Amino acid sequence: MNNILEIRDLIVSFASDGRKERAVAVNGVSLSVPKGGIVGLVGESGCGKSVTSLSVMGLLADNGRVDSGEILLDGEDLLKLSDRQRRDIRGNRISMIFQEPMTSLNPVLTIGHQVTEAIRRHSDMDKAAARARAIEMLDKVGIPEPEKRMGNFPHQLSGGMRQRVMIGMGMAMAPELLIADEPTTALDVSIEAQILRLMRDLQRAGGTSILMITHNLGVVAELCDEVYVMYAGEVVEHADVYTLFRECAHPYTRGLMASLPRMTPKGKRLYNIPGTVPNLRAMPQGCRFAPRCEYATEHCHSEKPALKDIGGGHLCRCFRG
């Protein structure tokens, strides 16, 4: 299957505190999203997931930069395009849904104004046609009385409604690739289930590929075809979703799986991975997960494992694999 997105050996760093040395947030990440597929990118906060997606969109903060690597959209390297060329692609061929719609929607503009403006920016529709398209998309994402809601401001909608607006805006131009960064975080489970079904339906109907960024493995199981697991700026495991849930290989992935909420005997505590993600400026020598890993040996602390195929395209960055 051809890939709509290929990231190859991406390295992204940030400057801070006036220091000469830059902090590397994404270290040699490679991943791909097949045309028409849904790929999950999983890991704790601070693992580099969002930085990877912002690099694709060309929306890194002023102190961030892509040091090396390639980001190919249908074979075209986005990093070689001008700012104007990337702006034309953003919102048209690639759209992104951010984690918190209240910070992405302008609080002083109506929903209708914002959705219509996004459509007109990336099409030759006149105002009336763009408004009709906006109403159509709000209806498709399940907004009741969409024409009436066009006159509402973001604060007048619930969190779930605002997220639906963002999905409608993201899908309005039938993008080739939709990047969803924690789109269901802080939503109740019923709304989360509705949004996941909606994204799957829209993907099937329009053929849009989706990169789903999340720390929620339940979302991955519900929506994704294959999964990349990131830790401390690196991919540590990659497999199709069935293989990952049936026989994950990396200790970090196993820890994430063990942390999933489930029915347990009364008084038994939910498992959590000990420790925290390392500081960007104090990465451990050797395997980056070794300080938190119950299986770590001296070898793990001194030498960095490579990401290798352990069978059938299942990739794992671990000496035990």
Task: Decide the pairing of beta strands 94-97 and 38-42.
Answer: unpaired
Threshold 0.75, pTM exceeds: yes
- Rounded average pLDDT over 166-176: 85
Q: What is the total count of domains within the chain?
A: 1
- Rounded average pLDDT over 112-141: 91
pLDDT tier, 40 (very low <50, low <70, confident <90, very high otherwise)? very high
- Rounded average pLDDT over 123-128: 90
C-alpha count within 13 angstroms, C-beta hemisphere, residue 276: 6
Alpha carbon 82 to its chain's center: 24
Residue 114 lies in a domain: no
Separation in Å, CA 112 to CA 149, 173, 178, 288: 7, 16, 21, 47
Given phi > 0 = left and psi -120 to 50 = alpha, else beta, which region is 136?
alpha
- Asked if 257 and 245 count as a contact pair (C-beta separation under 8 A), the reply is yes
Tokens linked to 93: 């061929």
- Rounded average pLDDT over 34-48: 93
* Percent of the chain whose predicted confidence (pLDDT) is above 90: 61
| Structural domain that includes position 31 | 3-93+175-262+270-316
Q: Which residue has the tokens 């209806």?
A: 139
Whole-angstrom distance, CA of residue 64 vs CA of residue 61: 5
Residue 288 lies in a domain: yes
Residue 35 lies in a domain: yes
- pLDDT value for 88: 87
- Rounded average pLDDT over 155-165: 87
| Average of per-residue pLDDT values in the chain | 90
Residue 285 lies in a domain: yes
- Rounded average pLDDT over 240-269: 86
Residue 128 lies in a domain: no
**In the chain, what's the furthest Cα-to-Cα distance?**
67
Looking up residue 307, the CATH number of its domain turns out to be 3.40.50.300
- pLDDT value for 101: 66
- Predicted confidence (pLDDT) per residue in 174-232, tens digit: 889 999 998 877 677 777 787 788 788 878 887 889 999 998 888 899 899 999 999 99
Residue 53 lies in a domain: yes
- Predicted confidence (pLDDT) per residue in 79-119, tens digit: 999 999 998 898 889 999 887 766 788 999 999 999 999 89
- Listed in order, strand segments (DSSP E) in 74-124 are 76-77, 94-97
Residue 249 lies in a domain: yes
Question: What is the distance in angstroms between the CA of the first residue and the CA of the last residue of the chain?
Answer: 27
- pLDDT value for 288: 96
- pLDDT value for 161: 86
Residue 222 lies in a domain: yes
Angle formed by the axes of helices 189-206 and 159-171, nearest 10°: 10
